[in-house]
Amino acid sequence: GRRVAEVSGGEAMLIAITGLSIRRTAITLLDEPTNNLDRPTRAKLADFVDQWPGTLVVVSHDLELLEHMENTTELYGGTLDTFGGPYSAWKEHQEQEQAAAVQAARSAQQALKVEKRQRVEAETKLARRERTAKKTQRDGGIPKILAGNRASKAQASAGSLRSTLDNKVQAAQVAVDAADARVRGEEHITLVLPDPDVPRGRRLAELHDQDRTFVIQGPERVALVGANGTGKSTLIEQFIRGTAPAPDRPHGRLLTELVGYLPQRLDGLDDDASAMANVQSVAPGTPAGTIRNQLARLLLRGDSADRPVRTLSGGERFRVSLARLLLSEPPAQLLVLDEPTNNLDIASVEQLAEALDAYRGALLVVSHDFALLERIGVDTVIELGRDGRMHQRRDLNI
């Protein structure tokens, strides 16, 4: 009976998917359907997918869900390419194609070098012949008429040879360009998080329920997990904002002011302002060139950095929010991330994991993406139950 605005992100997704399954349309589109879903619900959604009536088109970075697809279609460089099979099979096929493309590009480049070298060698020989002919003519070794005829023939022959060799070089260059076009340039988000130099014994935050207190200290990595609707995001919002907790509900307290926060719903951005302006608002002393370079490292270049944030994709908005954290001074001792992989593509998730793995401050991550949590080396797993109590787990197998 609650309003949709009052339910959790995962519950809202379940409501939407349930409505779509009841409609039973011929074609159904699901855009990132596992965002915010807990592990059991993700498994149920996978069963839904396997039995879905009609055609189902899924946009997702959830590798487990993608294994339930019959075909994989990639949008790259403005072109759609469809492969018969799930993501893992497509990925293997793509890696093989790229390996072959790289080898073909190397071979084409080598062939071009050979043609250019032969062109230079031929020009050297022609110049040597021309010098010999001029010397013979100058020394009077042969009649002038015969020397002239020979010179004319030599020039014609040299011109023909040059034309042939130039054509071969041009053809080799075309082959190189075609081979290079098949090799994909890897666009990498380069995330280098600042070193906050957090002492191991420094207490940064506390999480409380009716029975227990959990302390986050030093460069500790804590995962907060639990079923949809248990109040994980509400707990995070409460202690980040410093508002009074609800009765008999878990609550938290920050012990440091140096906190970076990425909410599940990126509502801290000014949608009408550009990415540049959004970052400048939290880093007024940072030169514009530094901000622009940082955004470029996050693949927000040129027009993307100057467009209103409301025109950016979910992944681009996330990068703007991340840039606001990266340029904070002094750097955050504690990063609090609520479902950080929502709306990120597969490559960006991996690059985010690399950055967080190298971060030397404390992390509190709310996520159902257990692959990410394992990748960043979580030290402590806290499960929030529906009864409002928190339980420490040894690992992510819950």
What pLDDT is attached to residue 89? Answer: 95
The confidence score (pLDDT) of residue 93 equals: 92
Task: Among 117, 152, 182, give the residue marking a domain's end.
Answer: 182
- CA separation for the pair 225, 236 (Å, rounded): 12
Position 84 in a domain:
no
Arithmetic mean of pLDDT over the chain: 84
Instruction: Evaluate whether residue 322 is within a structural domain.
Output: yes
- The share of the chain scoring above pLDDT 90, in percent, equals 22
Give residue 88's pLDDT. Answer: 94
SS3 content of the chain, % helix, strand, coil (to 5): 50, 15, 35
Q: What is the pLDDT of residue 133?
A: 66
287 and 197, same structural domain? no
Domain span including residue 122: 93-182
117 and 175 belong to one structural domain: yes
For residue 197, tell me if it sits in a domain: yes
Residue 82 lies in a domain: no
Query: In this model, does residue 152 exceed pLDDT 70?
Result: no
Q: How confident is the model at residue 143 (pLDDT cuts 50, 70, 90)?
A: low
In a domain, 193, yes or no: yes
Residue 289 counted as domain residue: yes
Q: With 0-12 CB in 10 A as exposed, 13-18 as middle and 19+ as buried, what is 132?
A: exposed
pLDDT at 167 over 60: yes
Domain endpoint, select from 143, 165, 182: 182
- pLDDT tens digits, residue range 186-220? 666 666 667 888 888 899 999 998 889 999 999 99
Mean pLDDT of 167-178: 85
Query: Is 277 found in the same domain as 158?
Result: no
Q: Cβ contacts of residue 219 below 8 Å, gap of 6+?
A: 198, 200, 360, 361, 362
**pLDDT tier at 83 (50, 70, 90 boundaries)?**
very high
**Over 80: is that where the pLDDT of 22 sits?**
yes
* CATH number of 24's domain: 3.40.50.300
List pLDDT tens digits, range 221-239. Answer: 999 998 888 888 889 988 8
Please tell me the distance from the alpha carbon of residue 261 to that of residue 253, in angstroms, as a whole number: 14
Task: For residues 68-87, give the mean pLDDT.
Answer: 92
Instruction: Spell out the residues 6+ positions from residue 124 whose beta carbon is closer than 8 angstroms to its own.
Output: none
- Choosing from 182, 205, 239, the residue where a domain stops is 182
Give yes or no: residues 352 and 385 share one domain: yes
Give me the residues paired with residue 56 across strands.
Answer: 28
Could you give the number of structural domains in the chain?
A: 4
Residue 364 predicted with pLDDT over 90: yes
Classify residue 81: in a domain, yes or no. no
Is the residue at 321 inside a domain?
Answer: yes
Q: Are residues 172 and 50 in the same domain?
A: no
Core vs surface per residue 99-130: b (16+ CB within 10 A) or e: eebeebbeebeebbeebeeebeeeeeebeeee
Does the structure show a pLDDT above 90 at 321? no
Strands 251-254 and 71-76: unpaired
pLDDT of residue 297: 79
Beta bridge partners of 57: 29
List all residues 6 or more positions away from 332 whose beta carbon is below 8 Å from its beta carbon. 194, 196, 258, 259, 260, 325, 361
What span, in angstroms and rounded, lies between the C-alpha atoms of 396 and 119?
Answer: 64
Beta strand 213-217 pairing with 71-76: unpaired
Does one domain contain both 251 and 194? yes
Chain CA centroid to CA 156, Å: 58
Gap between the Cα atoms of 178 and 377, Å rounded? 43
One domain for residues 104 and 205 = no
Instruction: Cis check for the bond before 330: say yes or no (omega within 30 of 0).
Output: yes
pLDDT value for 149: 55
Report pLDDT for 227.
86
**Which has the closest alpha carbon to 382: 236, 248, 238, 261?**
236
State mean pLDDT over 50-66.
Answer: 90
pLDDT of residue 58: 95
- Helix or strand or coil: residue 147? helix
Among the listed residues 368, 367, 317, 372, the one whose alpha carbon sits nearest the alpha carbon of residue 346 = 372
Residues facing 260 on adjacent strands = 335
